[in-house]
Structures are given as structure tokens and as C-alpha cells.
Amino acid sequence: MAGNIKLQICETADEVSVEAAKVFADIIRSIPDAVIGLATGSTPEQTYEELAKIHKSEGLSFSGVTTFNLDEYWGLNGDHDQSYRHFMNTQLFDKIDIRPWNTNVLNGAASSPSLECEAFETRILASGGIDIWLLGIGGNGHIAFNEPGSPVDSRTRLVSLSEDTIEANSDGRFFSDPAEVPRCALSAGIGTIREARKLVLLATGLKKADAIAAAVEGPFSPDCPSSLLQDHPDCTFILDQDAASKL
């Protein structure tokens, strides 16, 4: 295995979600004013469902928590039903006691993308930095919308999406047609992500197996953006058997 990445391999995708939710719940219990980074997409949906259950059944409070989301489609405002702001509200924020003003999602309809990204970085610094960031992984190894070739020290910025990413997001789960998928997004940079004190990356399914193998066992290279987590001091990949099948 390359680097410091710790592996936690679960039997099923359901178990991945349960284990991930436990990690985040433990952080919030120990640090009630934790600063948490979040991801979108299909992989973390069940983790958010588990966190909402823990909030309801065990009284886990998010009232002191501040959140930052990895990315947002450029050109979509937060009311659009495919925006990541809308996703986070419906999947998690509306189901817990988090204060809305403590949830930070990049504004895809901002008048200036560069100023929006700069302000996002400033808010992270002002909050004291990210305690733990939840990540997914794309089939091409991307994290957030940092496509292959993204520098290890990249910051939050406007990026162009690869054809692979556009196709992956137009399979009917999100957009019904590739033509509907925005071609650009605002994304936290790899450098931004790497500054979090703890990273947890989730992956499930055979479609992610090649990307996981490249991230864990391949070279430390921008060609596979997730491989740039190999030297992080506290990074755990929580995988199901399928996603781990090529390790």
C-alpha cells in the first residue's frame, strides 16, 4: 500500500454508510462546534440518512456544527433541484438541528466565481479549518470536481468538468440527459481538502474499484487526484467489498 491511507473494508454498501456515520457522530460528540466538510452524489446519501437517524434517536445535536461543501455546479442557484445546495438541504440539513447560516455551500449563481471562491476559502480559515472532510471518488479518480491534472496545491476555483464526469452525472440519477449537465463547477481544491485535519473517503461498487486501486496503490500523481491523499496524516478509505476488489 502506498502512503498513509488506512483502509476499512465492509461487507456491504449499507455497512459503509453506518461506519461512516459513526465516525462523524463521534467527532460531533467530542467537538460540539466541529467544522465538517461534506460531499454530494449518490455515495454519501445513505450516510446522511444514518446521521439523521442518530440525531433523531440518540439526540446528536448539530446546533454548534459548521459545514462546508466540496462543490457546486456553476450556473445553478441554490433553489434549482439539481443544485448541491438543494441536495444538502433535502438529504441532511432539513432533517437535523443545524443552523442554516452555519452551512456553507458555494453559490453557483454568484456574480464573480473568483470572488465567491476566495470568500469560501476565507470562511474556512475564519472557522479554524476543517476538522473532518467526507469525500467520494469519481471513476477517473477525481475528488470533489478536481479532475485528473489538478495540482496538489490547487485552491477553490472554477473548473471545467470532464466528459467522463458529465456522463456519470447524466445517468438518470441526477440529470436525464448529458446536455442538461453544467459544463463547469466551483470546487474546493486539492490543497484546500488536504488541509483538513481528518479525511474520510467512501466508495462502493465495482465501478469504483479501478479508481480505488489507483488511489491507494498507484503513484502519487495528479493523473489520479485521489492519490494525492496518500501522504495525508489522517486519511481513511471506507470501502465495500466490491470497491476494494482490485486492491
Alpha-carbon torsion (228, 237, 40, 25), positive or negative: negative
Please give the pLDDT value at position 21: 98
User: CB–CB of 229/5 below 8 Å?
Assistant: yes
Catalytic residues: 71, 140, 142, 147
DSSP state of 161: P
Q: Please report the pLDDT score of residue 171 as a whole number.
A: 58
The b-or-e profile of 119-130 (16+ CB within 10 A means b, else e) is bbbeebeebeeb
- Per-residue pLDDT, 2: 58
Residues with pLDDT less than 70, the chain:
1-2, 170-174, 176
Do 230 and 4 meet the contact criterion of CB atoms below 8 Å apart?
A: yes
* Structure confidence at residue 217 (pLDDT): 96
CA atoms of 13 and 29, how far apart (whole Å): 25
Other CB atoms closer than 10 Å to residue 6's CB: what's the count? Answer: 11
Cβ proximity of 72 and 84 under 8 Å: yes
Residues contacting 26, CB < 8 A, separation 6+: none
